[in-house]
């Protein structure tokens, strides 16, 4: 029996079989490889790839988000090592963000276990649209510096709480929130923002995964397969990030999120229509 999924119904047995066959395993491996590449390239955990893939394989949005967070643990480690080797991690800023993220991820896990499925899907769509707009309208500097003082430290902790809560609900590492915020609000360069956000994801993902595990929401085997495969390609993504311009990176990220937003919106509309028909 899969932890976080009951096996006493035929529907859930089909889910189990779908993840256990060769096709399901191939999807998990390819998802992990793509996740690692985009994690290194954009400084994200890869939840924007993992969650849709797991939903497509048959998990609910709730279980997909929880499993995605588990996969982000090894993914973030690989990415941050690559960025740190180039000096593109602000350790103090990461520590302050992590304090907030750990607290916020507990709130996110609680909301994940209680919010209706359709609400989770529309929160996901709204989040994608917000980040797309931000990426198109703002271009980070390659030479920016993150300057810390008392108030910026406080705001980093607050940003961490918000990030942790949203990450827990959406099943993302939080890089899509932290990375733009560190550049736009705190003046960090694009590479520094990516490396720092990846470092913060590690404790946040662990904290959220432990909470989700206790609530029996995590499909651990799938999360480990995705995470271990992501470790392979994350360094390549980091190399590509250093080769392309900040503007090109922002537009590529926006293009990927637009694809996901359209696909997720159509899926949410379909489910909303089904619920309306039943009522």
170 falls within a domain: yes
Cα 168 to Cα 12, 14, 107, 164, 172: the distances in Å are 24, 27, 7, 6, 7
Residue 96: domain span: 10-278
- 92 in a structural domain: yes
Tens digits of residue pLDDT in 171-181 = 777 777 888 88
pLDDT, mean of residues 62-82: 88
pLDDT for 19: 59
Looking at residue 156, its pLDDT comes to 95
Q: Quick check: is 3 in a domain?
A: no
To which H or E segment does residue 123 belong? Answer: helix 117-137
Contact 235, 37 (CB under 8 A): no
Instruction: Evaluate if pTM is beyond 0.85.
Output: no
What are the pLDDT digits (tens) for 138-192? 877 778 778 888 999 999 999 999 888 887 787 777 777 888 889 888 888 888 9
Looking at the chain, the number of H-run helices and the number of E-run strands are 11, 0
- Asked whether residue 42 is assigned to any structural domain, the reply reads yes
DSSP 131-178: HHHHHHH----SS------HHHHHHHHHHHHHHHHHHHHHT--SHHHH
Assign 276 a pLDDT band (cuts: 50, 70, 90): low
Q: How confident is the model at residue 48 (pLDDT cuts 50, 70, 90)?
A: confident
- Domains: count for the chain: 1
Integer Cα distance of 152 and 68 in angstroms? 30
Task: For the chain, give the mean pLDDT.
Answer: 83
Task: Tell whether 1 is covered by a domain.
Answer: no
Whether residue 2 is contained in a domain is answered as no
Q: Confirm whether 4 is domain-assigned.
A: no
Give the per-residue pLDDT at 18: 59
Question: For 211-260, how does the pLDDT look when each residue is reduced to its tens digit (9 = 90+)?
Answer: 889 988 999 899 999 999 999 998 999 899 889 888 898 898 889 889 87
Question: Does any domain span residue 60?
Answer: yes
Whole-number percent of the chain with pLDDT over 90: 24
């Amino acid at each position: 029996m899969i932890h976080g999924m009951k096996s006493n119904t035929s529907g859930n047995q089909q889910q189990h079989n779908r993840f256990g066959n060769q096709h399901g395993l191939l999807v998990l491996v390819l998802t992990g490889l793509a996740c690692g590449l985009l994690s290194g390239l954009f400084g994200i955990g890869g939840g924007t790839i993992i969650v849709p893939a797991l939903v497509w394989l048959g998990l609910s949005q709730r279980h997909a988000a929880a499993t995605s967070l588990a996969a982000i643990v090894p993914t973030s480690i690989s990415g941050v090592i690559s960025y740190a080797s180039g000096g593109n991690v602000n350790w103090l800023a990461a520590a302050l963000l992590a304090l907030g993220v750990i607290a916020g991820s507990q709130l996110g896990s609680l909301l994940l276990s209680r919010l209706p499925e359709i609400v989770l899907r529309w929160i996901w769509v709204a989040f994608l649209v917000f980040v797309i707009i931000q990426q198109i309208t703002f271009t980070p500097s390659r030479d920016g510096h993150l300057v810390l003082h008392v108030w910026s430290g406080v705001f980093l902790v607050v940003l961490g709480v918000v990030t942790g809560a949203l990450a827990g609900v959406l099943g993302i590492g939080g890089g899509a929130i932290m990375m733009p915020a560190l550049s736009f609000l705190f003046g960090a360069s694009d590479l520094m923002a990516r490396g720092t956000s990846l470092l913060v994801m590690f404790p946040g993902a662990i904290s959220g995964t432990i909470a989700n595990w206790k609530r029996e929401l995590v499909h651990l085997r799938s999360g480990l397969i995705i995470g271990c495969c992501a470790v392979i390609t994350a360094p390549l993504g980091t190399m590509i990030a250093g080769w392309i311009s900040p503007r090109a990176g922002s537009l590529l990220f926006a293009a990927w999120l637009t694809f996901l937003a359209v696909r997720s919106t159509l899926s949410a509309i379909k489910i909303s229509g089904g619920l309306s028909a039943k009522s």
